[in-house]
Amino acid sequence: MAQMKKITKKHEKYENFLSKFPNSGRLTADKFAEIWQHYDSNDSGYIDEDGLDLFFRDLLQSMTGDKNISDQTVKDMKDCFMSAYDDAGDGRIAITEMSNILPTDETFILLFRREERLESSVDMMELWRKYDKDRSGYINADELKYFIRDLLHKRGKEVEDEKLEEYTAGILTIFDKNGDGRLGLKEMARILSIEPQDNFLTQFELKSKTMSYKEKQKHFNKVFDYYDKGKSGAIEGDELDAFVADLMAPDMDSMSVNQVELFKKGILSNCDKNKDGKIQRDELRLCLGLYLDMSV
């Protein structure tokens, strides 16, 4: 039976995914998103390894009409395109890089071109609070539409409501991995180009393993200053939410603000010794010891 399944799979008819889309005209946001989702097979936010080979094979077949493209031809084309369009030089294609290969709605791609980066996860939480208007702990489709409109407005672009709907659907297709029609914190972070390696606490934990006690103390102060954005002498409000979200992130595939709130209660219960709902410097020392298993 196993052998029969193997043979059947081997002789399955190969279907070029790109053949579903016309060669003329620019791809709309929803069509581009559909293509992206297909080739980003591991949901990494990039097209890499097997996804790249499959994409360039399909692209070659679509361009030439030849269904018998050799592996070497695919490799040669991939090498050529990657040398021209792999701006980061990391051997994979990001959304903005893909838009250089496929004719795409340029205004939609503007959403992924980050001329400015958020300075910290605290900025991310402040932005979140602005658009999570119903305080559901998620960004729903309507709230996402307002975010897209404001982002394009900042870049001097005004679009009709019909286009905003299309862009919203495209963003959800790419980033809403569980298909619930809304975005959690981690999904929103991907839109804002916040990578896991940007997590300040994770970096602190990794670096601290090779630090002397003196170096660890110095870096600990950097951690506190990073989250105490208001320089009040305590981590509070959005600062505390950002700290908790960063603490949770490595162990969570997805994350909602409601989960952050729940975890925050546990942190305050264990670390907030003066019960003021904030985390002072000495209390942060306790938090890092408890939750990152380190002595600082």
- Quote the Cα angle for 192-139-108, to 5°: 50
Q: Which residues contact 9 (CB under 8 A, 6 or more apart)?
A: none
Which pLDDT belongs to residue 3?
45
Cα–Cα distances in angstroms (integers) from residue 151 to residues 174, 188, 258, in the given order? 18, 14, 25
Which pLDDT belongs to residue 6?
41
Choose among 71, 61, 77: nearest CA to 20.
61
Cα 91 from chain centre: 18
Cα separation of 200 and 222, whole Å?
10
DSSP 77-121: HHHHHHHHH-TT-SSSB-HHHHHHHS-B-HHHHHTT--SS--SSH
Sign of CA dihedral 124, 126, 127, 133: positive
Tell me which H or E stretch contains 163.
helix 161-175
Q: What is the pLDDT along the chain (296 residues), one digit of tens a residue?
A: 444 444 444 445 667 888 888 665 789 999 999 999 899 888 778 888 778 989 999 988 888 888 888 889 988 988 888 888 887 788 888 888 888 888 899 899 888 876 666 666 788 788 888 888 888 888 999 999 999 999 898 888 999 999 999 999 999 999 888 888 999 887 887 787 766 555 667 666 656 667 777 887 888 888 899 889 999 999 999 999 988 888 887 766 677 788 888 889 988 998 899 999 999 999 988 887 755 555 55
Q: Which residues contact 200 (CB under 8 A, 6 or more apart)?
A: 120, 121, 223, 226, 227, 246
Which pLDDT belongs to residue 206?
59
Q: Are strands 139-140 and 182-183 parallel, antiparallel or unpaired?
A: antiparallel
Ordered by where they begin, the domains of the chain are 25-106 (1.10.238.10), 121-192 (1.10.238.10), 197-291 (1.10.238.10)
The answer to pTM > 0.75 is no
Which pLDDT belongs to residue 11?
43
Which pLDDT belongs to residue 170?
93
235: tokens are: 């981590």
Query: In a 3-state reduction of DSSP, which class is residue 146?
Result: helix
* Helix axes of 141-154 and 121-131: crossing angle, nearest 10 degrees: 120
73: tokens are: 């031809």
Task: Give the bridge partners for 93, in sequence order.
Answer: 47
Cα separation of 241 and 231, whole Å?
16
Which pLDDT belongs to residue 16?
85
What are the backbone angles phi and psi of residue 235, rounded to the nearest 5°?
Answer: -95, 120
